[in-house]
Amino acid sequence: MENYDAIFVFPKLWEKEFNPPNQPPYGLLMCSDLLLKKGYNVFVYDERLESLGVKKRSELVQAVKHSKPLFFGISSQSGPMIENGLIDSKLFKQECPDTPIVWGGVHPTLLPDQTIQHPLIDVVIKGEGELPCLGLAENLKKGNKDFSNIDGLYWKDKSKNVKINKPGQGVPDLDTVDMRWDLVNHNDYIRNIDGKKWLGLITSRGCPFRCGFCYNISFFGMRKFRGWSPKKVIEETKRMLDWGVQAINLDDDYIFGDPLRMWEILNLRKQ
């Protein structure tokens, strides 16, 4: 059994999933990329697949029991996902009481003060997670649990006092971050809809607008659109087509945030 430096979990959205997912855990796969490129070993577990019989809880339990991770990471939206994430956090705390448990995602970003108060949570990442996750790994590898040097964190010191760091800026060049499909089985996310094989993809972040109902400004801290270059988008879609995918669901918040980029993607696709 491998020893994992970071164990990431995407909790179930409900007590039991109603529909099979056609979206992988995007955030966790991209957070894993910088860690893997720095030589860290990463395990990603998608709880949504348990209800489909694709994944067994024992896989996660064994990964935890046979590893000495630097930290555990949980991505959470609001709703029942929080309760499911806390069940995972309890397991982690029982097996590795001295290993930090890190929460990130939309809910912890919108409510970081509330989230960090829970006794099972040691660190909250507010906003994008790639750079904070790498910073945590680098600190913990040296035995340093003072995270004051890592932007975008709410964290507890040795006395359980909550510390709030300055906001994170996010990855400046998204082309440096890959979607690590090698950490999951892509076939688990391909769905047959209207006779075609569908799979989700996300190619950009952010939005130039400020709609009152949207999470974007709170999450990214800016009114700005950023995305993979057209060339990288085409490379990713070609890979999916090689898997037999016939329709790609673009899950970007606002893929037309840069119209010229979108035109170039379409022109490259024709070629």
pLDDT 10s digits, 153-191: 999 999 999 999 999 988 989 999 999 999 999 999 999
pLDDT 10s digits, 96-129: 999 999 999 999 999 999 999 999 999 999 999 9
- The pLDDT value given to residue 1: 67
Which residues make Cβ contacts (< 8 Å) with residue 114, sequence separation at least 6? none
How many angstroms separate the CA atoms of 81 and 62, rounded? 22
How many angstroms separate the CA atoms of 139 and 145, rounded? 7
Strand partners, 101: 72
- The pLDDT value given to residue 180: 97
- The pLDDT value given to residue 224: 84
How many angstroms separate the CA atoms of 169 and 202, rounded? 20
Rounded to the nearest 10 degrees, the angle between the axes of helix 130-141 and helix 26-37 is 40
Question: Confidence class of residue 210 from pLDDT cuts 50, 70 and 90?
Answer: confident
User: Per the structure block, which two tokens stand in for 267?
Assistant: 């022109």
Average pLDDT of span 208-221: 80
Burial class (CB in 10 A: 0-12, 13-18, 19+), 170: buried
Question: Confidence class of residue 208 from pLDDT cuts 50, 70 and 90?
Answer: confident
Lowest mean pLDDT among 15-19, 162-166, 194-198: 15-19
Question: Confidence class of residue 17 from pLDDT cuts 50, 70 and 90?
Answer: low
- pLDDT of 89 > 80? The answer is yes
How many angstroms separate the CA atoms of 125 and 66, rounded? 26
pLDDT 10s digits, 224-259: 889 999 999 999 999 999 999 999 999 999 999 999
Task: Indicate the average pLDDT of the chain.
Answer: 92
How many angstroms separate the CA atoms of 241 and 138, rounded? 36
pLDDT 10s digits, 58-74: 999 999 999 999 999 99
Instruction: Please compute, for residue 249, the number of CA atoms within 13 A of its CA located in the half-sphere on the CB side.
Output: 15
How many angstroms separate the CA atoms of 131 and 150, rounded? 8
